[in-house]
Amino acid sequence: MDDEFYIGYEPTMPDRMAVRVRAAASVLVVFAAVLSGVLLVAQGRFAAATFEFGRTRTFEGTLVEYPYPALLVRRSLRNSPAVYWLVGAGKHGASELVKGRDGRMVRVSGTLIERDDDRMIEVSSGDALVDVSPQSRTPIESMRSLSSVVVRGEIVDSKCHLGVMKPGEGPTHRDCAVRCLLGRITPMFVPRGNDTGMGRLALVGADGRPFTEPLDMRVGRPVEIHGELLVRGPLRFLAVRIINVEASL
Amino acid sequence: MSTAYRAVGWNRQKRRYDAVAAAGVGVYLAVFIGGGMLVDPQATIETLVIRGCGTAAILLLHIVLAIGPLCRLDPRFVPLLYNRRHLGVTTFVLALTHGVFALVQFHALGDVNPLVSLLVTSREYASLTDFPFQQLGLIALAILFVMAATSHDFWLRALSAPVWKSLHMLVYVAYALVIAHITLGALQAERHPVFPFVLCVGVAGLLALHVQAASRERRRDVERQLQPARVNLAASGFVDACGVDEIADTRAKTVCLSGERVAIFRYDGRISAVSNVCRHQNGPLGEGKIVGGCIVCPWHGYEYEPASGRAPAPFTERLPTFSVRVAGGRVLVNPTPHPPGTYVEPAAFVHDASRTRLRAKRFGEVSP
């Protein structure tokens, strides 16, 4: 009669048992590889975005302080300047670094963050921002309204969304986005589709000032915003009047 | 425990077991993280690590929880049970890696301490869609940590077996929290149907295994319950348990007496009866074997002397024993157990070779 009996501390396993255990172990390892591959392929694609971590570049342009820090870099006389939003290190904005320097010509050293046509520079300290011509200021046109809109999409923190984190949006990223917005990183609206034809928009209040309402309840969720499209030179904004959170499940 | 009565540390089989486990985890992570970087050049390593370690931990947790019921359903799975705790510790390490990376990624470098951020940023406890799922993961990780930290048998002795076992049953609480963590978190972001499908298969599979194993145990208990017609009170409270020939040499037959499972062992022309429940982790002693004069538990090799129910020195575990007699080829057992470790004179029997040959002929067994 077959009387197989084995305890794990014995040095050798009965032959038949060893064959079965080897087969089971092989099946499990192969299953692990297959499942891993399936889950890998099924997950969503990562955004085509860049965060040049560890690499410092220098940019020269006109500093914008209001409503959110940005650098207008003129590449040629014919084209309008390119917009580089400015942000601090970690989950912090750059408002303190640019205070009182609106319209100044500056040289900024920082790390480039880029996604599609939107760009951002992470500035680590005030030393990275140097006045090129301290005495002169370039006036930047005032905010003007284009139209009223109703748009659907998601509110994100600009830094993570533009490339520092992937994904930088959605429910799993929500806590990080809240912390970033509380650190005064520029809030941004990412439209679903191309309702406005203007791509991503920085969020401001109905009066065009920096958005101050707590956004933690509405970040990382599908929302519908009733608002107004505003521009200030090459800068684009969505002034918020009403935010409705859409059902997500 | 070993048949040589020494504490068992690392050995060849344990190293092989761990090597296979490490290979499985290594292959999983290599495919997910390495493959992820190749398949999508835009992928970030930290996100792949978070997802890879998280999903690997969940897979391993399913395997850990499946081993128990599988062993009850089919003894051929018992070799997987011996080092199951190593798989449990590995699950914790993977979950910890996932948790640390996620904590740093989503909560560090902000305006508050990362752990504080984890606890206070999301507080929509009344909402299903906005429930702070990360906190569920944190609680599950804490449970897994406690289990990993107390996985050594030192803690089993220090806490006592019942307390230790109860503590480690918290793995089911951790499992429920992990499922909720995934359902309320990642499944809201990942839209491909394969994710909820795989999760449902895992949960349903585990549930089915546990239900099947429990059902089978209940059926066995009913079968083991002695029929009233067989009860023979002629010998001062003893009951007729089984025939001597129904027990293979060095093996046991398990019966139910007064709601308790009793393992009746046959060895060296003698019969002894002890509680079926191993003092280590409640293993089924009746499925064990007499080796070197001791009952050896099939799960982790704990040993007990059959006549006294005592573990050999220096070990101190003790089993309740039962008085036994043999009459007319039948084993009679007194259902009232003796205190653990009580010596009971084994009942001797005369082996009837002709009856053994007749039984072998009837059932097609090979005669010795």
| CATH number for A218 | 2.40.50
- Among A69-83, A121-135, B4-18, B58-72, name the most confident range: B58-72
Pairwise CB contact (< 8 Å): B2 & A42: no
* Domain tally, chain B: 2
CA separation (Å) from B146 to B10, B103, B118, B133, B179? Answer: 23, 20, 20, 21, 19
Is the residue at A9 inside a domain?
A: no
Pairwise CB contact (< 8 Å): B55 & A247: no
Predicted confidence (pLDDT) per residue in B10-19, tens digit? 778 888 899 9
Nearest Cβ partner for B82 among A7, A29, A171? A7
Over residues B324-341, the mean pLDDT reads 93
Residues in chain B with CB shorter than 8 Å from the CB of A88 are: none
Contact yes or no for A50/A113 (Cβ under 8 A)? yes
Residues in chain A with CB shorter than 8 Å from the CB of B20 are: 25, 28-29
Is the residue at A20 inside a domain?
A: no
CA dist B328 and B351 (Å) reads 12
Is the residue at A86 inside a domain?
A: yes
Is the residue at A240 inside a domain?
A: yes
> CB atoms < 10 A from the CB of B225, how many?
12
Nearest Cβ partner for A47 among B24, B42, B301? B42
- Amino acid identity for residue B5 in this structure: Y
Per-residue confidence (pLDDT) for residue B258, from 0 to 100: 78
Is the residue at B2 inside a domain?
A: no
Pairwise CB contact (< 8 Å): A179 & B128: no
Domain boundaries, position A80:
49-131
Nearest Cβ partner for B248 among A1, A35, A90? A1
Pairwise CB contact (< 8 Å): B289 & A3: yes
Asked if residue B362 has pLDDT above 80, the reply is no
Report the alpha-carbon angle B123-B128-B129, nearest 5: 85
Q: Same structural domain for residues A119 and A177? A: no
Q: Same structural domain for residues B65 and B205? A: yes
CA dist B45 and B34 (Å) reads 9
Is the residue at A156 inside a domain?
A: yes
Predicted confidence (pLDDT) per residue in B92-104, tens digit? 999 999 999 999 9
Give B302's pLDDT tier (boundaries 50, 70, 90).
very high
Per-residue confidence (pLDDT) for residue B366, from 0 to 100: 33
Q: Same structural domain for residues A236 and A163? A: yes
Q: Same structural domain for residues A211 and A155? A: yes
* Domain tally, chain A: 2
CA separation (Å) from A62 to A83, A104, A234? Answer: 10, 6, 12
Q: Same structural domain for residues B208 and B250? A: no
Q: Same structural domain for residues A103 and A125? A: yes
Asked if residue B6 has pLDDT above 50, the reply is no
The rounded mean pLDDT for chain A is 89
3-state secondary structure of B92: helix
ipTM of the shown complex: 0.92
The tokens 């009459």 sit on which residue?
B327
Asked if residue B307 has pLDDT above 70, the reply is yes
Is the residue at A161 inside a domain?
A: yes
Q: Same structural domain for residues B146 and B24? A: yes
Give the end of a domain, one of A78, A103, A131: A131
Chain A: residue nearest B33 by CA?
A40
Out of A57-66, A104-113, B5-14, B342-351, least confident range: B5-14
Per-residue confidence (pLDDT) for residue B181, from 0 to 100: 97
Per-residue confidence (pLDDT) for residue A212, from 0 to 100: 78
Is the residue at B66 inside a domain?
A: yes
Is the residue at B249 inside a domain?
A: yes
Q: Same structural domain for residues B113 and B150? A: yes
Per-residue confidence (pLDDT) for residue A126, from 0 to 100: 74
Which residue out of A1, A13, A43 would a mutagenesis test of the B interface target, given it has the greatest number of B Cβ atoms within 10 Å?
Answer: A43
Out of A232-241, B36-45, B122-131, B334-343, least confident range: B122-131
Per-residue confidence (pLDDT) for residue B364, from 0 to 100: 34
Pairwise CB contact (< 8 Å): A249 & B121: no
Pairwise CB contact (< 8 Å): B109 & A174: no
Is the residue at B215 inside a domain?
A: yes
Over residues B167-177, the mean pLDDT reads 97
Q: Same structural domain for residues B21 and B99? A: yes
Contact yes or no for B217/B247 (Cβ under 8 A)? no
CA dist B124 and A174 (Å) reads 12
Per-residue confidence (pLDDT) for residue B359, from 0 to 100: 44
**3-state DSSP of B101-161:** HHHHHHHCCCCCCHHHHHHHCCCCCCCCCCCCHHHHHHHHHHHHHHHHHCCCHHHHHHHCH
| CATH number for B288 | 2.102.10.10
Per-residue confidence (pLDDT) for residue A195, from 0 to 100: 64
> CB atoms < 10 A from the CB of B267, how many?
21
Which residue out of B111, B112, B247 would a mutagenesis test of the A interface target, given it has the greatest number of A Cβ atoms within 10 Å?
Answer: B111
Is the residue at B349 inside a domain?
A: yes
Q: Same structural domain for residues A101 and A151? A: no
Alpha helix locations (H) across chain A?
A: 15-42, 158-159, 174-182
Give the end of a domain, one of B168, B200, B222: B222
Pairwise CB contact (< 8 Å): B32 & A39: yes
The rounded mean pLDDT for chain B is 89
Q: Same structural domain for residues B55 and B139? A: yes
- Greater pLDDT, A172 or A139: A172
Asked if residue B368 has pLDDT above 50, the reply is no
Give the end of a domain, one of A131, A152, A185: A131
Give B360's pLDDT tier (boundaries 50, 70, 90).
very low
The pair of structure tokens assigned to B238 is: 């003893």
Chain B: residue nearest A175 by CA?
B121
Per-residue confidence (pLDDT) for residue B357, from 0 to 100: 47
Predicted confidence (pLDDT) per residue in B195-224, tens digit? 999 999 999 999 999 999 999 999 988 887
The tokens 């348990």 sit on which residue?
B241
Query: How does B106-128 read in b/e, with b if 16+ C-beta sit within 10 Å?
Result: bbeebebebeebbbebbeeeeee
Is the residue at A137 inside a domain?
A: no
Give the end of a domain, one of B176, B199, B222: B222
Q: Same structural domain for residues B206 and B234? A: no
Least Cα separation, residue A28 to chain B (angstroms): 7
Cα-to-chain-centroid distance, residue A72 = 20
Percent of chain B with pLDDT over 70: 90
Backbone angles phi, psi at A93, to 5 degrees: -80, -175
Q: Same structural domain for residues A71 and A115? A: yes
Asked if residue A13 has pLDDT above 70, the reply is yes
Predicted confidence (pLDDT) per residue in B275-289, tens digit? 999 998 889 999 999
Per-residue confidence (pLDDT) for residue A94, from 0 to 100: 94
Per-residue confidence (pLDDT) for residue B3, from 0 to 100: 44
Is the residue at A79 inside a domain?
A: yes
Domain boundaries, position B81:
12-222
Q: Same structural domain for residues B62 and B145? A: yes
- Greater pLDDT, B227 or A197: A197
Give the end of a domain, one of B222, B253, B281: B222
Q: Same structural domain for residues B282 and B165? A: no
Give B353's pLDDT tier (boundaries 50, 70, 90).
low
The pair of structure tokens assigned to A153 is: 């999409």
Q: Same structural domain for residues B52 and B168? A: yes
Q: Same structural domain for residues A90 and A154? A: no
Per-residue confidence (pLDDT) for residue B351, from 0 to 100: 67
Pairwise CB contact (< 8 Å): A91 & B111: yes
Is the residue at B3 inside a domain?
A: no
The pair of structure tokens assigned to B327 is: 């009459």
Over residues B311-338, the mean pLDDT reads 93
The pair of structure tokens assigned to A235 is: 């800068």
Give the end of a domain, one of A98, A131, A164: A131
Q: Same structural domain for residues A241 and A148? A: yes
Chain B: residue nearest A51 by CA?
B44
Residues in chain B with CB shorter than 8 Å from the CB of A9 are: 1-2, 8, 11, 13-14, 82, 301
Q: Same structural domain for residues B84 and B216? A: yes
Contact yes or no for A186/A93 (Cβ under 8 A)? yes
Q: Give the number of A-B residue pairs with CB atoms closer than 8 Å.
A: 179
Over residues B24-31, the mean pLDDT reads 97
Residues in chain A with CB shorter than 8 Å from the CB of B24 are: 28-29, 32
Chain A: residue nearest B130 by CA?
A171
Residue among B294, B289, B288 nearest B315 (CA): B294
Q: Same structural domain for residues B58 and B35? A: yes
Give B230's pLDDT tier (boundaries 50, 70, 90).
low
Contact yes or no for B267/B306 (Cβ under 8 A)? yes
Is the residue at B276 inside a domain?
A: yes
Is the residue at B67 inside a domain?
A: yes
Chain A: residue nearest B365 by CA?
A1
CA dist B243 and B209 (Å) reads 33
Per-residue confidence (pLDDT) for residue B363, from 0 to 100: 35
Which residue out of A4, A7, A156 would a mutagenesis test of the B interface target, given it has the greatest number of B Cβ atoms within 10 Å?
Answer: A7
C-alpha count within 13 angstroms, C-beta hemisphere, residue B229: 0
The pair of structure tokens assigned to A214 is: 């707590």
